[in-house]
Chains A and B, each alone.
Chain A
Amino acid sequence: MNGQTATKTTNQIILDGLWRDNPIFRQILGICSTLAVTNNVTNTAVMCISLSLVTALSCATVSAMKEWTPKTVRMMVQVLIIAFYVIIVDILLRAYWPDMSRNLGPYVGLIITNCIVMGRCEAFAQSNRPWPSFLDGLFSGLGYSVILMVIAAIREVMGMGTLAGYPLPYFSTQWDKWVIMVMPPGAFFVLACLLWLCRSIGIKGKKS
């Protein structure tokens, strides 16, 4: 694995992050901290951008510091690096967008325990140079964000008839709103259906 990843090109990293190794479909990682805010597109977008930036920057930092980090305490060092960036994001949000900070509640802080961040640091950044690690982190984060944005869009449109707060023509008037979509069970069902769809495509792709 290490030998292969070391020679990965930029394009491969991007494609892997977005589709082939997509954190959600391939690995079912890190849905904890973000699934909860997918009942609204704006919240999800902010959360996803924060997560992608934290992942990218932590991966780059972990990779830059890997030579000086003793192997035995590397997990602790990684957690501290991640926590450092999460604190920056949290303070920025609270200073410039207090309403959003209140909406997201504890979930910004929970990026620390998001398995994707730690997973990418451990799996890729440990054995690669800072720039590829940055890209890998960024695109893993974005691959994850795309799916969460789809979930958020489905939930918000079907549940409230709006998209990012703007009423949509058909959904806000004639559509019978599915309240269940904005409640927690909706997130589970939508994610499960998307997972089913993408895995089926993956299985077919492998057969042919």
Chain B
Amino acid sequence: MILLAANTSSIGSEVWMAVVTCFAAIFTQNILLSYFLGMCSFISVSREVKTAVGLGAAVVFVMTATTILNWMAYWWVLVPLNLEFYKYILFIIIIAAFVQLIEMIIDRYSPALYQNLGIFLPLITVNCAILGAVLWMVIREYSLIVTVGFGFGSGVGWMMAIVAMAGIRQRIDESKIPAGLRGPGITLIIAGIMALAFVGFTGVLQ
């Protein structure tokens, strides 16, 4: 299939690259389990599957949108102006503004969705996974199409990890765990085992 994509137009191969990058971001280079991004909310908001799904969905959406927006801001504005060192400030402002905007839109048009997702949106502004994905996208110099795949894949990967973690934590809720290990300790051990499972995907993509 890779050969087939190479023979078609460059757009086709770009799209194929995007698909591969998306897959890689979910499995082999999971943003949480191999880059440790978004750990704070991963540990504190993974007690219940329902809230984990809500936060995860919000992250998928915000991450896809902000990586695209920041790609445009970086390559179309900062690079031509030689102002790359302002990138941190610009990225943070774009992410915060975008989250604020989405919150207002959802609040106005879909109160039901706001009930479910609204409380998670402010949390996302300070989620390092979002800024991390944006910075990776800049460092690896992805094209716009690949960035779409990367942003979406990273979000889905993060969501998958936190939902799985919440499911496991609900199951072990009643188990007897040594006092010192309760809470964050056992969460980290589970995360380690999950990361171990994800290491197994390494050979899948080259």
Contact = CB atoms under 8 A, between A and B. Distances in A.
A92 to B, nearest CB: 11
Interface residue tally of chain A, by bracket? 35 or more
Interface string B182-206: 0011101101110110010000000
Interface in A74-109: 76, 79-80, 83-84, 86-87, 90-91, 105-106, 109
B92 A79 contact: yes
Interface residues of B, number: 42
Interface string B97-128: 00000000000000000000000000000111
A112 B188 contact: no
Contacts of B128: 32-33, 110, 113-114
Contacts of A175: none
Contacts of B139: 105-106
Contacts of B89: 80, 83-84, 87
Contacts of A80: 89
Contacts, number: 125
A110 B139 CA distance: 13
B195 A196 contact: no
A65 interface: no
B205 to A, nearest CB: 16
Interface stretch (B34-42, B50-58, B68-76): B34-42
A115 B181 contact: no
Contacts of B199: 183-185
A62 interface: no
Contact of B85 (A87, A183, A184): A87
Contacts of A113: 92, 126-128, 131-132
A195 interface: yes
Contacts of A32: 36-40, 128-129, 132
A187 B88 CA distance: 27
Interface in A180-207: 180, 183-189, 191-192, 195-200, 202-203
Nearest to A38: B36
Contact of B179 (A33, A36, A203): A203
B80 interface: no
A32 B33 CA distance: 11
A87 B87 CA distance: 9
A123 B9 CA distance: 56
A29 interface: yes
Interface in A1-59: 28-33, 35-36
17 contacts: A28-B43, A31-B36, A33-B36, A79-B92, A83-B89, A87-B86, A87-B88, A109-B131, A113-B92, A113-B126, A114-B128, A180-B196, A184-B36, A185-B192, A189-B188, A199-B185, A203-B179
